Amino acid sequence: MVSADLLGAARAIESQIAEDRRRIHSHPELAYEEEETSSLVRTRLEELGIPFLSGLAKTGVVATIKGDLGDGRCLLLRADMDALPIDERSGVRFASQIPGVMHACGHDAHTAMLLGAARLLLDRRTGFAGTVKLMFQPAEEGAGGAPRMIEAGVLTDPPVDAAFALHVRPNLAAGKVSCSPGPQLAGADVFTITIAGRGGHAAEPQTTVDAVVVGAQVVLALQTLVAREVDPKASAVLTLGTFNAGERFNVIADRAVIKGTIRSLDSELFLHLEQRIREVATGVASALRATAHVDLIGRCPPLVNDASMAEYLAASARSLLGPDSVVAAKPEMWAEDFAFVLERIPGAMLWLGVKSSDWPQPKAIHTPEFDLDESALPIGTSALAGVALDYLTRA
C-alpha cells in the first residue's frame, strides 16, 4: 500500500477542493447542460497540464494521467456532474443561484474530489506504471450519461482494466467510508402502460370499453408481482406513481396512462419483473376487452461491486484512513448509472460518509435540505487517489 501520506496531501489542498465544490454547487446544471461545470473541469485539467478529451456525451470529459514507469494497466475513476430539478432550501451561503436547480445528490462534491485526486496522482506519477482515466460524466440522474460515455469510447483506447467511483452517503458519518462486495444499489426501470378501450356516454356502458375500470384492474393485478411472486428474502419494489384517465364525469374514458418504476438488487429478478409487467398488463387488459401497451424505458442495471475489487478498495481505504473508518453499510434501493460501467469492467463503488455530527438526523439526498459535511472531501479525494496508486503499483 502506497497511500499512507495521501490523506495529509489531500488535506493540504482541501481549500481548493471545497472552493471548486462550492462554485459548482452555486451554479448547478441539469443533465447534458453541464457547460459551466465541464468548463471548470477543463480549466483545472489545463492548469495541471493533464491531457483530456471533451465533448463526449455532449459535456463529458475524459482525462488521462500516465505513470512515468511505462506501460501497465488502466484504471478508471468516475465523477458525475449533473444536478437535479429541485429548489434548494439547505441554507448554506453558497446555495444554488439557479431557481429550481440544485446539487442535491453530491455530484458537485464528486467532481471536485476527482479534480483533487487528479492533482494527487499527477504529483505521484513517477511512482506508477500504466494509466489513470478520469471520467467526468454528464446526466447520471436517469438520463443515460454513463452509457453514452461508454458508446463514445471511454472504456477503450487504452482498454480499462478496473473502475472505481464514490458516492456520498447521507446516513453515514463524515469520517467513515464503506465498501462491500455484491449488489449495492438497485436496478431501476421506468415504465408507461397505455390502456386503450372505447369511449362513450356515461349512461351507455354496454357500448364502451371503460379504460378507467381496466386501468384500475391492472393497478391491482400489478400489486401481486412483488407480494406474491418475489422471494420475501429478496428486495424488490414496484411503484405506480401516476394514473391519468378521463376528462369529464359523464364521459367513459377511452384511454388510461399509468407510469411507474421497478427496483431490484437482483438482475434476474429485475428482468422477471419487466417481463411480468408486460404479461400482467396486456393479459388483464385483454381479458377485459381492452389493449395495453407497455413501454419500458431508461433501464439502469443493479450496481454490483466485484468481490475482489471491493476488497481491494476497502483494503486501500483501511490503510489510508485506519481500520475503524471502514464500516459495513446495507444496500440502498436508489439507482446509479455507474452500474453500466461495472456491468463491463470489474470495479467497485465506495460510500463516502457525509453526515455531520452536528446534525441529529441525516440530510437526505434528492431533498431541498440536502447538505454534506465538507470534512469528508479530503477523505474521498485521498480514497480515490489511493486505490488508483495501490492498483497501479501492485505486483
Lookup result for grid cell 467513515:
176
Closest to Zn ion by CB, 220 or 364: 364
Closest to Zn ion by CB, 3 or 96: 96
Whether the CB-CB separation of 320 and 11 falls below 8 Å is answered with no
Shortest CB 129 distance to Zn ion, Å: 32
Shortest CB 167 distance to Zn ion, Å: 6
The cell for 340 is 453500466
Shortest CB 82 distance to Zn ion, Å: 9
Residues lying near Zn ion in the complex (CB under 5 A) are found at 105
Whether the CB-CB separation of 202 and 252 falls below 8 Å is answered with yes
Shortest CB 56 distance to Zn ion, Å: 19
Closest to Zn ion by CB, 108 or 266: 108
Whether the CB-CB separation of 346 and 308 falls below 8 Å is answered with yes
Shortest CB 191 distance to Zn ion, Å: 20
Closest to Zn ion by CB, 105 or 309: 105
Shortest CB 11 distance to Zn ion, Å: 25
Shortest CB 384 distance to Zn ion, Å: 16
Shortest CB 280 distance to Zn ion, Å: 29
Alpha-carbon distance 178 to 232, whole Å?
A: 26
Whether the CB-CB separation of 182 and 375 falls below 8 Å is answered with no
Q: Which residue is nearest to Zn ion (CB)?
A: 105
Closest to Zn ion by CB, 225 or 372: 372
Closest to Zn ion by CB, 185 or 214: 185
Shortest CB 368 distance to Zn ion, Å: 14
Q: How many C-beta atoms surround the C-beta of residue 35 within 10 A?
A: 13
Shortest CB 254 distance to Zn ion, Å: 37
Whether the CB-CB separation of 162 and 346 falls below 8 Å is answered with yes
Closest to Zn ion by CB, 271 or 333: 333
Closest to Zn ion by CB, 105 or 392: 105
Closest to Zn ion by CB, 105 or 236: 105
Closest to Zn ion by CB, 3 or 111: 111
